[in-house]
Structures are given as C-alpha cells and as structure tokens.
Structure 1
C-alpha cells in the first residue's frame, strides 16, 4: 500500500537513489562522508575523507550510509552501483566498498576486479568509463517480504566516489543515464 511507503518508493519495478540523498550517515572520529556538489551524471556524489584513510572492515562502527526504500514485491533483485571512474592508484587488488540490504551480510565489491593489466598496456575499460563518466558495479540480493527496507553502503577503501544506486526488482530498462530518482517520502514538498 502506497500509504505505508517509507523512503524511496519503487516505481515500475525500480528504485533509483542519488547517492547524496542518504537517509542516515555514520561517520567516525577519523573518517567522514562528504557530498561533492554537482559531481556525477545526474546529481551530486559522495565519498569519504580523508582520501588517505586506512582500509575499513564493514561493521556497525565503521563509516556507512543508509538509504530507506519501499518495495512492493519480494524476491531476488540486483543493485547497480554507479561510481565515478578511478584507476587502481594503490596498485593493490583494487578499491572496494561493501553493500547490503537490511541485516544481510555485507558483500565486498571490488571496483577493479578483473581489470589488472601490465603497466605498458592502456586499459580499454578506462576509455569507456571516462567517456561515460560512470562505472557500474552490480550485486545481487534477496528480500523476503515487500515493504520498508534499508540499503547500506560501507566504506572499505577511500577513493570510491558514489553517484547513484539503482535497485532492480524486475522493471529496469536500458537507458544511458539510468532511471530518474524515485519519489522519496522523507523529503517534504514545499
């Protein structure tokens, strides 16, 4: 029932959330989430500061942001996380973040997985990411019931810049910019 909707509301099988419009934020004494105005394809972006922070293990005390949303169905869904393109400047296994819905175990996502190349080769994926000013990473989740849910995104490595999250409950259609941001019941209309 739409009257019970809370947060971002599913429409045609999709919930689209601009990263800067979080419902809740958890900072630590050393690490804070920061909104970067007008960075991104459709709105502002978020990242953590300082940029040289240590890698974090996702838990209730590490830096995270939450997004409340409402689904009208249950079952398997996918989340496309739109991040700004970045090279693996740490020269390690890649920059990571963690993502979950409700109380599920966080999934660690490596934004550079499978992209390691010798230094003398120019990575072809970089051309596409920079041209589109976006890189999409996908995760799969299951929700057991319709209703209110919470998307939680943890900082694992600094340097990951989040632009948008698109939750596909079966209605996502191809488009260049992705769907417009969903209605958010937590924002007062003036």
Structure 2
C-alpha cells in the first residue's frame, strides 16, 4: 500500500512539473554550458518572495498564480555566434496548442510571445522567444489571465493596455 501511495505522489509530482517539449529540448541542449545562463524558479519560491516583497496588489496576484519560470539566455554571444533561439525553437512549438500573442521583427532581432490557453481568458503556459543580437527563451507555467498581465504592465507603460495589443485568432 505504501508503494502505491509513493507511486501516486511521484506521478502527481511529475505531471505537475511537465514543460513544453520545445522548452525541454532547449534546456537539454544548452543548459550547463559556459556562456549560457540557465535559471529555473519553482512556484513555491515565487510565492515566498511575494510574501516578503514590496509589490503592488496586481503584481502579487499575478505572481501567486505562477507555478514555474524557466529562463535560458546566451551570456557570451562570441561563444555562440550562430545561435538564434527564435529560429531554432520557433519551429518546435506546436502551433495547434499555442496562440501567438505578439511577434516583433526589427533589424534582425525577433521576439515572439505564445500562450497555451486553458480557455479564452486563462493562460496555462507562456513562451517568450528572443533571437538575433540577444538570445533568450522564457517559459512561464501557471494559471493566469490576460487581464492580470494587463494590470501589471499598465503600471509600467505609457497608458497603452496590453489587451489592446493582443488579438486572439
């Protein structure tokens, strides 16, 4: 009986920590190499920081709904001159399960933000790919809404709402 309980607990733990396959591929390929920054922040640590941080209510609300953040970035572009996370991992993202929220292409730099939606409003996974002069891949797992993101971003921008920029297909 004890083994069954451990198995169910391990299965639950594994299922709650799953990532997107493209994110897993990126971290498997680049994590731990010199010149690459690899950061994983689990949700309990984010929620602990929220409890002690000097944050606005909208920031606290958003952060409390994040289960994990993973960041992969090229710190030494001379060691990886041909790396372009946008080009490399954009093709691995399943377009059927992600909605493109925003793409910016300017002077050889590309940024793409994609969300795996639980429904019309709630985001399960958010992937931000940056390629070109700067290379980064950010994966955010949780259950948060576009409105929660908008409330936080509206505190820091010139009054334009992110919801006015985002159009769902």
TM-score, structure 1 length as denominator? 0.27
Larger relative strand fraction: 1
Larger relative contact order (CA 8 Å, sep ≥ 6): 1
- Which of the pair has more CA radius of gyration? 2
TM-score, structure 2 length as denominator? 0.29
